[in-house]
Structure 1
Amino acid sequence: MSKVKVLVVDDSAFMRKLITNFLSESPQIEVVGTAKNGKEALEKAALLKPDVVTLDVEMPVMNGLEALKQLMKNHPLPVVMLSSTTTEGAENTITAMQYGAIDFVAKPSGVISLDLYKVKEELINKVLLASRANVRAISLDNTGEIRKHQRIRTFHDRKNQRKKIVCIGTSTGGPRALQQVLTKLPENIAAPIMVVQHMPKGFTKSLAQRLDSLSLIAVKEAEDGETLQNGTAYIAPGGFHLLVHQEKGALTACVEQSPPRNGHRPSVDVLFESISALTDYEKIAVIMTGMGSDGTAGLQRLKESGNTKVIAEDETTAVVFGMPKAAIQANVVDIVVPLEQIAEMIAKYVEG
C-alpha cells in the first residue's frame, strides 16, 4: 500500500523536526518535505504534491490562514492545523476550519511545545484520516470568505402546534457544516437547537461566537442549568457532555463530565438519548460529517421513543461519511440530503 505523503509547515525548525519524527514513526506515512512559512508551503505543495499538509498558524512572510486560503483555492488538499489553545489560537483555528482545514491538533503548551509527544498518536491518526477525507466536499465560496445566508422563510405563529426540539451531531468537518446549516435557519424558528461538535475544551466558545456573528438565530456555548429558548442554538462545551432535562414544562441544559462515551466527551449519543426521554416534544435529529458511529445508538433510542424525524448528510457533501453512514446502515434515518438542503429540511419538519 502506498504511503501517505505529508508536507510539514512550521516556522520553528525544532517543531518541524519534532513533527517530522513523530509522523515518520508511522509505517503508513512519509514526510516528503517541510516549509518554514506559508509562501514556501504553497511552492512546495505545488512541487511535491503531498496527500496531506500539516500547517502552523503563526508564521512570518505568509501566515497559515492566508496560506490555507490560497491552497484551498488553487490546489485543494487535506490540511491538518496545529494550533495553540490560547483564545486567539482558538479563534484562528475556527477560521481555519471555515477556510477548509479538515481538522486540527492543539499544541499542549504553546507555539514551541516541548511536550508535543502528548499528542503524537492524535496527530498521526488525524493525518491518516485527513488523507481519506472528501476534499471535493469543501467548496469555499471561491475565496473562503463568509457571507450571511438569506433566511429560508419566516415561521407562521400557529396555535396549538406541538412543541419541537432540534438536535445535531457532527465531528470531523463539522464546523463548516454547522455554518452551512445554522446560518440558513430563520431567526424565529419555533424550537431550540442542541449541538454536539466533537472538539476539545477551549475551542467550542470561539466556534459558537463565530457562528452567532453569522447567523440570524442566536448561537452560544451551553451553560449548565439554563432554560432553553426557541431560536437559539446551544453548543456542547468541549470536554463536557450536553443533556436536556424537562422540568415544570420547561427544558433546561445539563452540562456534565461523566466518563466519555466511545472516546467522546461531548458525545452525540449522550445528547440524543437524553432528548429521547422528552415525552411531549417532536424531535428532529440531524447527523452530519464525522468519523466513527457516535450518534447511531442515540438515534435508535430516539426512534424507539417515537415522534422523531432523522436527517442524515449525503455522502457527496460529507467530508467524512462515517457517522451518517453508520446511522443510515442502522435504518434509523428518514431522509438523506446534501449539506446545503439540511437547513431547509429542519425548517420543514419544525413547521410541519
Structure 2
Amino acid sequence: MKGQTRRSRNRWRWIIPAALAVSTGWLGTAHAESVQDFYSGRTVNMDIGYSVGGGYDMYARLLAKHLGDHLPGNPTITPQNMPGAGSLKAANYLYSVAPKDGATIGTFGRTMPEEPLLGEADYDARKLVWLGSMDSDVSLCVTWHTSPIKTFQDMLTKPSRFGGQGAGSDPDVMANTIRNLFHAKLQLVTGYPGSNESALAMQRGEIDGECGTSWSTLRMRHPDWLRDHKVNLIVQMALEKHPDLPDVPLLSDLASDAETKKVLMVIAASQALARPFAAPPGIPADRADALRKAFADTMKDPAFLADAKSLGVEVRYVSPQQISTVLKDVYATSPDQIAKAKAAVGGRM
C-alpha cells in the first residue's frame, strides 16, 4: 500500500507541472497574439448592404482599397455585396451572425441605425463597434426631366411613382415620410436592390423618380445628369442644407407646424451618418481600437484622398464619437415622438 501511495504521488508530481506548462503556454500564446499577429496575412471581409455599382458600393470599395494599409499586419480587405431589404440583411448579419473577432466589418444604409426604433429591426445600434462615416450627406428627392413632377408642390398635388428598396431603406423612409406627413399623392414602388436599378427604372419612365438619393451619389455616379439638367432636385432631407444646394428646399422648412418639424428632426438625424461603417459588437477591444484608428487615418491619407477626388467622391469624416452622440440623442427621444416618426416612415398614420 505504501509503495502504491508513493507511486501515485510520483505520478501527480509529473502530471501537475506538465499540465501547468501546457496551460501557461496556451495562455501565453493567447496573450501574445497582438493586433498585428491577428491581422498579418489575414483577409478582412467587408459586407456591403447594396448591389454593385451604387453609391454605398463605391464608397466601400474605395475604403477597401486603402484601409488595410493602415491596419497592423496590412490585411487584405475583401468587399462582398450582401443586398437585401434595403441593407437590413447586412445590418442584421453584422449584428447577430458575423464572427466577433475583428475580421468582419460592414456598411449599410444610413437609416439602419434608427430602424430598431422606427421600423421592425431587432438590434441595438449603440452596441455596434462604430468605425466612423466617410461622409455627412443629405438625401434628395429627384425626378427625371421628362416627369411632370418638377417641384415639391407637384409632389403634393400630382400623382407620381417613386422607387424604393425595402422597408427602412433611405428611399422608402423619405418617400413614406413625405406621403404621410405632407399628404403627397405619391405611390411607392419598392423592392429595387439598389440605386443603379431604380435609376434605370427612372430613365425608362417606369417611375417618376426616387427619394433618398444621396447628393454624393449624384455627383459621383451621374455628374452628366447634373450638367445636362437630366434630373429635377425636388427637396432635401437633413438636419441642415448641404452647402452645394442652397436653393433646394429643406423638408423640415416646408413643415407647417412645430410638431411635424420635431418628427422630421428625428427622422433626419441619420443623415449625419451618410456612409457608416461598423464592426460586430463584442470584438476584442484592441482590435476595435485598431479598426477605428485605421479608418480615421485612411480618411486623411493623401493616396486615398487622391483616389476619392478622381472618382468624384466627397469625403467628410464623421468620427465614432459623433455617431455615438447622434444615436444617444435619437434613442433618448420620447416614446410619443418615436411613435409619430415610426408611423411616418412605415406608411402607417
Q: Could you say which TM-score interval applies, normalised by the shorter chain?
A: under 0.3
Point out the structure with the larger strand share. Answer: 1
Point out the structure with the larger helix share. Answer: 2
TM (norm. structure 2) is: 0.26
Which gives a bigger RCO, structure 1 or 2 (Cα 8 Å, sep 6+)? 2
State the structure with more CA Rg.
Answer: 2
